[in-house]
A and B are shown apart, each in its own frame.
Chain A
Amino acid sequence: MEYSPAVVRHFDAPNRARELPPGTPGLVSGEAEDRTLHVWVRFELELEAGIVRAAAFQAYGCPHTIAAANVVAEWLEGRRVEAARSLDVRALCAGLEVPVEKLGKLLRIEDAVSACWRTAE
Chain B
Amino acid sequence: MSSAEIYLDYAATAPIDPAVAAAMMECMTREFGNPSSQHAAGKRARALVEAAREAIGARVGAPAERLVFTSGATESNNLALNGVLKRTRGRAVHLVTSRIEHKSVLDVARALNNSGVAVTYVPAAPGGYVEPERVIEAITADTQLVSIMHVNNETGVVQDIAAIGAACRERGVLFHVDAAQSAGKLPLDLTALPVDLCSLTAHKLCGPKGVGALYIAPRTTLLPQLLGGEQERGLRAGTLATPQIVGMGKAYELADPGREAPRLAALRDRLWEALRGISGVRQNGDAGRRAPHVLNVAFPGVEGESLRLALRDLAVSAGSACAADSPEASHVLTGMGLSDTLAGSSLRFSVGRFTRDDEVTAAAAWVANAVARLRGLAKSAPSWCSA
Contact = CB atoms under 8 A, between A and B. Distances in A.
Interface of A: 1, 3, 8, 11, 14, 17, 19, 33, 35, 38, 40, 42, 58-63, 66, 101
Contacts of B377: 14, 17, 58-60, 66
Contacts of B384: 35
Contact of A63 (B309, B327, B385): B309
B380 interface: yes
A63 B306 contact: yes
Contact of A38 (B310, B344, B379, B380): B344
B357 interface: no
A40 to B, nearest CB: 5
Interface string B295-316: 0000001010110011000000
Contacts of B273: none
Contacts of B344: 38
Contacts of A17: 376-377
A12 to B, nearest CB: 8
Interface of B: 301, 303, 305-306, 309-310, 327, 340-341, 344, 376-382, 384-385
A60 B327 contact: no
Nearest to A40: B381
Contact of B309 (A11, A33, A42, A101): A11
A19 B327 CA distance: 30
Given A11-B306, A35-B341, A60-B385, 10 more contacts: A8-B309, A19-B380, A38-B341, A38-B344, A40-B381, A58-B378, A58-B379, A61-B303, A61-B306, A66-B377
Contacts of B379: 19, 58
Contacts of B382: 33, 40
Nearest to B376: A17
Contacts of A33: 382
